[in-house]
A and B are shown apart, each in its own frame.
Chain A
Amino acid sequence: MAAAQGDGIKRAGLVVVLAVACALPFVLSGFRVFQWTQVCIYAIALLGLNILTGYNGQFSLGHGAFYAIGAYTTAIMIDKWNVGYGWTIPIAGVLCLVVGFLFGWPALRLEGLYLALATFSLALALPQILKYFEHWTGGSQGIVLSKPKAPWGLPLTEDQWLYFLSLVILIALFVLAANLLRGRTGRAIMAIRDNHLAAETMGINSSLYKSVVFGVSAAYTGIAGALSAIAIAFVAPDSFDVFLSVTLLTGIVIGGLATISGAIFGAIFILFVPNWALDISKAAPWAIFGVFLIVFMYVMPRGIAGSLRLLWIRWTRPAVVNKQVQQDVS
């Protein structure tokens, strides 16, 4: 009974959030709309990384690289071959799926720290590699694109159109991820994280799953990268440095590992908190950001979504709280 009531409240909450999300671009200024577009884009990338790190237990410090590959795929296709921008997004996704799968295959042998290092070095090396293939990538100058106009004569500005495009893709990918993780596949993915030997004994092909999850995760991040290239209308190697990968990792831990809604909280954090930090201190904004990070980890070690979930359980089912807390701690 309580659970059913809880579901009802959750569903109502979801509808409210969606309504607000649709109303946002009509009440905010152009720049704010652009920021929320970026939140949507980051959320897609974070969800991808969270599928890998949160649900499958593979650490990646190099997802900025897939973001960059997605962005450059789109930019090069639009700039060199005049492909319609809409087509470049799925192509970027598929390409990243393949690259991610291929990178995930040798990375299978690596656990924890070593995987983090391998991916970290990938993220580090990528800007240099991008600069090296100047003919395609425009070197350190990057590639300048133009923002697409709203199609079908819709009465939307470019920023509003991009926002809705990102939002629709975000929702589609979230639904996809939720379905993927809810069923048999999702349980297999999490079983590998919790104990891969036990999972293999149950007949789960752990190697295949891990590589595919790596690919799917890369595809999500690549799609986010492609969208960002379209939304910002500019790509350059230095915007995809290791800092981006670190930011993405920060986003999923702050948002909440192994939670789907955490991707949105994390995206909001990594986009807006640096700005707030700048408002607080012009001199050393990143110091403030660092303090925020550390304090967040002290106060909510399970991330925003994790803490919310705990509060939610405490509110709806007080009887099971103690048990749940014990489980969470262990």
Chain B
Amino acid sequence: MDIFVQQVVSGLATGGIYASLALALVMIYQATDVVNFAQGSMAMFSTYLCWSLLQAGLPYWVAFFATIVIAFVGGLLIERTVIRPVENAPILTIVIVTLGLVFILTSVAGWIYSYIQKPFPSPFPSKPIKLGQVVLGTHDVGAICVTLVVLVLLFLFFRYTTLGLAMRAAAQDPNSSRLCGIRVGWMLALGWGLAAVFGAVAGMMVAPVVFLDPNMMGGIQIYAFAAATVGGFTSPMGAVVGGLLVGVVENLVGTYVSFIGTELKLTVALAMIIIVLLVKPSGLFGRAFVRRV
């Protein structure tokens, strides 16, 4: 039972990281119908920047927030300079452009920082938390808390600010929003900026666990895809629940189903994606895809 609780908590911790990245994917998808394959690479790059800041001697939380600001500006700039020229091109063209970004970011990170894995500090004390018989990693609990804080802030932003409302409007109906005086293009850019922030948070939370290397987000991005699919690509709430669910299921299946172990973990994600797609293609929380003919 103790092991079970421990596995669930550590599943929730990784799940929270998947959720952040899934949320970033869903945000961009909702606003532009594009799946941003570069999401993971952007997160990886932000994490490297944070590492540089830490090496320069900044305290952790200063570096953390500085990275968030840099990630936001970076996301914004990428949308303005790279994505905007192909905004109206067919979806596949945009997909290829985001794949191009993946190549560039990964390669440049490898060039600047080398492909050797680097340790990344955790802001939380290393002493585990004991609740009765259950031992919980402090970093796991901390990561869950950080993810929750980010989610609450995001919710408040979209629910209670004019800018949040404008962004939602621009995503839902660009033409009408434009008529109301909303600068739709900039709203999309803001969406990219915010998505980059989630990616950065996810990257900084996962780096102490998986170590820092240019390909570190590859596997995580897959789970984020799985999370977004399970929750539904049209629902931010779904992305969060999906992320947590994928994290927990992955951990429990890896622990209790002996033939899967760590070798077939990715296959679990595949199975989850396929099952959800077959049973409920729009995801657990997603809107069903309806089109007027």
Contacts and interface: CB of A to CB of B under 8 A. Distances in A.
A133 to B, nearest CB: 11
Given A128-B266, A285-B107, A287-B111, A294 B289 contact: no
Contacts of B99: 246, 249-250, 290, 293
A291 interface: yes
Nearest to B282: A114
A59 B106 CA distance: 25
B92 interface: yes
Interface residues of B, number: 44
Contacts of B289: 111
Interface residues of A, number: 43
Majority secondary structure of chain B interface residues (helix, strand, loop or mixed): helix
A109 B93 contact: no
A118 B91 contact: no
A298 B270 contact: no
Nearest to B106: A286
A292 B100 CA distance: 8
Given A110-B281, A121-B225, A284 B110 contact: yes
Interface of A is mostly: helix
Interface in A70-129: 106, 109-114, 116-118, 120-122, 124-125, 128-129
Contacts of A129: 264, 267
Nearest to B225: A117
B273 A253 contact: no
A121 B270 contact: yes
A314 interface: no
A59 B111 contact: no
Interface in B79-100: 82, 85-86, 89-93, 95-97, 99-100
Contact of B103 (A59, A106, A287): A287
Given A109-B277, A109-B281, A124-B270, A59 B107 contact: no
For the complex of A and B, list the 5 residue pairs with the smallest distance between their C-beta atoms, beginning with the closest: A290-B103, A293-B100, A290-B104, A286-B107, A287-B107
Interface of B: 29, 35, 82, 85-86, 89-93, 95-97, 99-108, 110-111, 222, 225-226, 229, 233, 263-267, 269-270, 273-274, 277-278, 281, 289, 293
